[in-house]
Amino acid sequence: LLCCGPAPPPSAMGFDPQLFVQPPVDDIICAVCLAVVERPRQCTNGHIFCEACITTCLKRKQQCPTCACKLTASSLNRNLVAENLVLALHLRCPHSKPD
């Protein structure tokens, strides 16, 4: 995440897609909050969520909100590809003039 100042705070769970210069690809959008994933985690079938979003979901039901596969906190995996895609995004500078 690159900008001329400090990174903006995340939204309730993920990052607002409007914060970025280019629209983020769908592959890094959380299936729960529909924002750019923050600390991406995935189910065994590859569905991606923010760590905070999926942790909240798992408190209610021990299954993937997308495909309903059995899911626990210990069965969640980091998604390094998604992490790297998010880190490669460029933030809009809040100090620049609008396009």
CA torsion angle for 83, 88, 47, 18 (degrees, to 10)?
120
What is the C-alpha separation between 69 and 81, in angstroms, rounded? 22
Q: What does the alpha-carbon distance between residue 68 and residue 96 come to, in Å, rounded to a whole number? A: 44
Rounded distance, CA 21 to CA 62, Å? 36
pLDDT tens digits, 29-81: 999 999 999 999 999 999 999 999 999 999 999 999 999 999 999 999 999 99
Sequence-separated (6 or more) residues with CB below 8 Å from residue 2: 89, 90, 91
Query: Domain 17-87, what fold?
Result: Herpes Virus-1 (3.30.40)
Tell me the average pLDDT across 17-23.
91
